[in-house]
A and B are shown apart, each in its own frame.
Chain A
Amino acid sequence: MARLFSILSEVIAAWQAKDVEAVLAHMADDIVWHYAAPGMPPVRGKAGAEKLLRRFQADMHDIQWRIFNHAEAGNLLFLEGVDDYRTTDGKRMAVPYAGVLEFQGDLIIGWRDYVDLGVIAAQKAGEPFTAQVEALLARKAGR
């Protein structure tokens, strides 16, 4: 397994286990985290990242975060994946995205996930998944 992707795999495992401290252990103190680029401002710093992680985890259940494809160049890891989970009120959310992670050594210092906030809003409103979202979800997860 490629080096940076193996680190991300540890983050995913920690996230699915709802182990916030283990996720934070992979982040640099001065991380800049665009969790919904380009529509939302980034969270800057580990303290802000922790606050965001705890807020997310309160409303994310049965997390099936998976990665379809990835590639590395130097300190950059590119990926395509889906954040797939259920909200506390039982709605399934499945948001396809592309992400770019910048590493400083083994720590993530920049994290940019590009998503469509309109897709998220529609799913939160209970609308059925569109055909194009279903097609993106149907891909085989990569290794």
Chain B
Amino acid sequence: MTPHRRAFVAGALGLATVPTLAKATVPMTKFQVLEAVIAAWKKQDVEGVLAHVTDDIVWRNSGGFAPAIRGKAAMRQALTAMAAKIKANAWRIFDYAENDHRLFMEGVDEFWFHTGEHIAIPYAGSLEFRGELIHEWREYFDGRLSIAMKNGEPLSDEVKEMIGRPVAR
């Protein structure tokens, strides 16, 4: 039975009216976990993001050009530093696929700095889960594009086309 089907059955049985039981019987899909992370980050709620990762998370957020960020404490530090610089973000996912303990995603990290620069980096990545928590996070993109945008260069037509796709539901 899929998690969605379980949710439907739980709802039909009235389990949703018993919060602890509903919580125990309706696990989040991996995509729902990602949606919760995105919702938290939209509010720049660092602890809301960290609630969905393991203590020993390995976060490869640089497309291969920088070392991985290891552990929740280091991720907290990185996210807190990012949140201080970012005025608003429109991180969104276009497509995804799940298998037993992994979620693949294609999306865009789009955000605006307080200083005015507009960054929009299309990327693909994968999240590896331990239960409902993310324990490895890998994103692939062109780091040079990120640097160019941070220097104020406009988005290319290719980037605009890639980020203009409908968001996944």
On chain B, which size bracket covers the interface? 35 or more
**Nearest chain A CB to B124 CB, angstrom units:** 4
Which among B68, B97, B98, B141 is the interface contact of A116 at CB below 8 angstroms? B141
Which among A38, A41, A96, A119 is the interface contact of B123 at CB below 8 angstroms? A38
Chain B residues positioned under 8 Å from A77 (CB to CB): 97
- Mark the stretch among A11-19, A45-53, A65-73, A85-93 that contacts chain B: A65-73
| A76 x B142 contact (CB < 8 A) | no
Chain B residues positioned under 8 Å from A42 (CB to CB): 158
Whether A116 contacts B140 in the complex (CB less than 8 A), given A71-B102, A72-B97, A78-B97, comes out as yes
Across the interface, name the chain B residue whose C-beta is closest to A72.
B97
| A133 x B64 contact (CB < 8 A) | yes
Whether A132 contacts B64 in the complex (CB less than 8 A), given A38-B123, A42-B158, comes out as yes
| A115 x B126 contact (CB < 8 A) | no
Across the interface, name the chain A residue whose C-beta is closest to B144.
A118
On chain A, which size bracket covers the interface? 35 or more
Cβ of B63 within 8 Å of any chain A Cβ, yes or no, is: yes
Whether A98 contacts B138 in the complex (CB less than 8 A), given A38-B123, A39-B145, A118-B143, comes out as yes
Which among A95, A98, A132 is the interface contact of B124 at CB below 8 angstroms? A98
| A39 x B144 contact (CB < 8 A) | yes
Cβ of A25 within 8 Å of any chain B Cβ, yes or no, is: no
| B124 x A116 contact (CB < 8 A) | no
Chain A residues positioned under 8 Å from B144 (CB to CB): 39, 116-118
Residues of A near any B CB (own CB < 8 A)? 34, 36-42, 69-73, 76-80, 95-100, 112, 114-119, 130-133, 135-136
Q: Sample 18 A-B pairs with CB under 8 A, ordered by A number.
A: A34-B162, A69-B104, A70-B99, A73-B98, A79-B104, A80-B126, A96-B64, A96-B140, A98-B104, A98-B139, A98-B140, A114-B63, A114-B124, A115-B140, A118-B142, A119-B63, A119-B65, A132-B62
The 9 closest A-B pairs by CB, nearest first: A78-B104, A73-B97, A98-B124, A39-B142, A116-B63, A71-B97, A98-B140, A114-B140, A38-B122
Known contacts A42-B158, A116-B141, then 13 further A-B pairs from the complex at CB < 8 Å, ordered by chain A residue: A38-B123, A39-B142, A71-B103, A73-B97, A78-B106, A80-B138, A96-B140, A100-B95, A112-B106, A114-B140, A114-B142, A119-B64, A135-B68
